[in-house]
Amino acid sequence: MTKIQQQPQLIIRTKAVGELPRLVRKAGHQCVVITDSHLRSKANELSLEIKKAGLPCSLLTVPAGEKSKSLVVVEELCEALVKTGLGRDGVLVALGGGVIGDLAGFVASVYMRGIPFISVPTTVIAMADSSLGGKTGVDLASGKNLVGTFYPPMAILMDPTLLETLPDREFKAGCAEIIKHGVIHDERFFTFLEKNRESILARKPALILKMLKQSAKVKLTIVGEDPREALPARPNSTNRSRMLLNYGHTIGHALEKLSEYTLPHGEAVAIGMIEENRIAVKKGILTKDAATRISTLIENFGLPTKLPKEATMARMKKLIARDKKKVGSSIYFALPTGIGSADLFPYDLA
């Protein structure tokens, strides 16, 4: 079996997807592409290219949407992999957004105790966030991503040409994760997003590439210091915890669950950042001016900024209590302390 790399090869460039047949051959002797119903045509194209390179390749498709991130679908995919004849010398290719990346990565981590996989993200949110860092997972009825593994792909291919047909709403939603990276780690990057917002939303290739590269750099820097997201030893820990990447997500995940996953992840995170900024301002760790600057950028990217009416305090508190970041009776919020810095703060749920 090909050894699974701990640090994935990251290729960010136009037409990077052309590297796929070479990487598949490097990873194994047979291949299965996992995608969703929206991307079947593109997946067929890639499967044909892999076959032209002389490798057997099958295609498995799941319904598009968050509901496919379930243990039921994991079992169905594993059974389907057996039927394709995929063995331990095989490789999976995850073609899609965050749902497919999380799902196929989890399948790769458990099928025959682990086989290599290659991630080909097709959305901004997957390129900026979910394809990086090695997290995989599926949802339970109780909440999002409650079952998963740390299992990095052997390679990640970020190809901006795959974003050309992405709907505007999805493109903007992905930008929420990119804004998050600027807020928690890199003020210069945040300023870059402010100055180049119009060109980014116009999808100018040079700026998209620059944005993706810098966003990936921020995430991988933080992940590199805490690969497995260790729980904080004490409040206000000064270590660079990976949990800082959860800024906007504690409230965001609760909003997704509340909406039964009809609210896109990026939009939920955008609202989550606004609401978590309110907590930071109330705690006196973030100035009102900084909070306003962040909310202005979020709004200027066409993202929502207000809680839905059904998000009552009681309902939100109940959902937040199920979050993975709960330690004892406290939930740890990743809160900005300025633009370009953040820290962890406990919130007592009792």
40 is catalytic: no
219 is catalytic: yes
Q: Is 119 exposed, middle or buried (0-12, 13-18, 19+ CB in 10 A)?
A: buried
pLDDT digit string, tens, across residues 84-116 = 999 999 999 999 999 999 999 999 999 999 999
Q: In Å, what is the CA distance from 340 to each residue of 179, 182, 186, 273?
A: 11, 6, 4, 14
Q: What pLDDT does 3 receive?
A: 42
Q: What pLDDT does 226 receive?
A: 85
265 is catalytic: yes
Q: Report residues of the chain scoring pLDDT below 50.
A: 1-5, 234-238
Of 181, 185, 253, 324, the active-site residue reads 253
75 is catalytic: no
185 is catalytic: no
198 is catalytic: no
Q: What pLDDT does 6 receive?
A: 64
Distance CA 47, CA 41 (A): 10
Q: What pLDDT does 341 receive?
A: 96
113 is catalytic: yes
Distance CA 335, CA 246 (A): 9
88 is catalytic: no
Structural domains in the chain, CATH included, are 9-163 (3.40.50.1970), 168-348 (1.20.1090.10)
Q: Which amino acid does the sequence have at 303?
A: L
Q: What pLDDT does 235 receive?
A: 42
Task: Decide if 253 contacts 268 (C-beta within 8 A).
Answer: yes
Distance CA 38, CA 220 (A): 29
275 is catalytic: no
Distance between terminal CA atoms of the chain?
49
Beta strands at 135-140 and 143-150: parallel, antiparallel or unpaired: antiparallel
The residue to which tokens 């750099």 are assigned: 217
Of 69, 172, 185, 249, the active-site residue reads 249
